[in-house]
Copies of this chain bind each other. A is one copy, B any other.
Amino acid sequence: MKIKTIAFDADDTLWVNEPYFREAEEKFASLLEDYLPAHSTLKELYKQELENLPVYGYGIKGFMLSMIETAMEITSNNLPDQMVPSIIQIGRDMLAKPVELLPGVEEVLQNLNGDYRIVLATKGDLLDQERKLNKSGLESHFHHIEIMSEKKTNDFQKLIKHLDIAPEEFLMVGNSLKSDILPVLDLGGNAIHIPFHITWVHERIEHEVEHPNFRKAEKISEVENLLAELNQ
């Protein structure tokens, strides 16, 4: 058994996240329907978000600021009275969302615990990710929580060093090929991809991955069997 530590991504791997962003985007676009058709507003928003990533990072607060800046852009700084309050409300509603666990999550974490050291490795806003972890009731399953500002090769290298293991003893389970899978394979680690039905454009990767340390699952309950394969 070579794998010692299993890290799980959180958003859209353990619990629902992306649909809340999609819902928020729709509400945002409808605020601006007198100015632009929805698809153009969303295109502007995405452009603004990408531009802002290096300054605001991932998470809802940055998303709120990006919505406000997009509205400034679209209205040429002539924001109608209720625009900003409505955007703030969209963001606040997101921050108050319940945490909806994906099917099978608790059982898998329970089964793996004891045999493996279980870690949470997630991107995003510190406080908001802590809030979700807390609401999820899953906290006790994790030996270590790592909230990362980015999930690039270099970031996983630091995490693996911090966990004091070799890359081949590390398995990452997540829904984003770009953030959870490719950087880990790159380091010589193992990875299981569980696609979620919605993926943010920024996280999309079109090509298929083939690698001896890589497996693809349809749902999290398959992790145990795939793990046995990877451990051979």
Contacts and interface: CB of A to CB of B under 8 A. Distances in A.
Nearest to A55: B95
Interface string A79-94: 1011011001001100
A92 B55 contact: yes
Interface in A25-83: 55-57, 61-62, 64-65, 68-69, 72, 77-79, 81-82
A65 B64 CA distance: 8
Given A61-B61, A61-B65, A72 B85 contact: yes
Interface stretch (A123-131, A169-177, A194-202): A123-131
A136 interface: no
Contacts of A157: none
- Of the four ranges (under 10, 10 to 19, 20 to 34, 35 or more), the interface on chain A belongs to 20 to 34
Contacts of A162: 144
Nearest to A75: B81
A147 interface: yes
Contacts of A85: 72, 77
Contacts of A147: 126
A103 to B, nearest CB: 29
A42 B70 CA distance: 28
A149 interface: yes
A81 B77 contact: yes
A61 B91 CA distance: 13
Contacts of A57: 125-128
Interface string A159-188: 000100000000000000000000000000
Contact of A81 (B56, B64, B79, B148): B79
B68 A88 contact: yes
Contacts of A77: 81-82, 85
A62 B61 contact: yes
Contact of A88 (B65, B82, B91, B92): B65
19 contacts: A55-B92, A55-B127, A56-B61, A56-B127, A57-B125, A57-B127, A61-B61, A61-B62, A61-B65, A65-B65, A68-B84, A69-B88, A72-B88, A77-B85, A78-B81, A79-B81, A79-B84, A126-B149, A130-B149
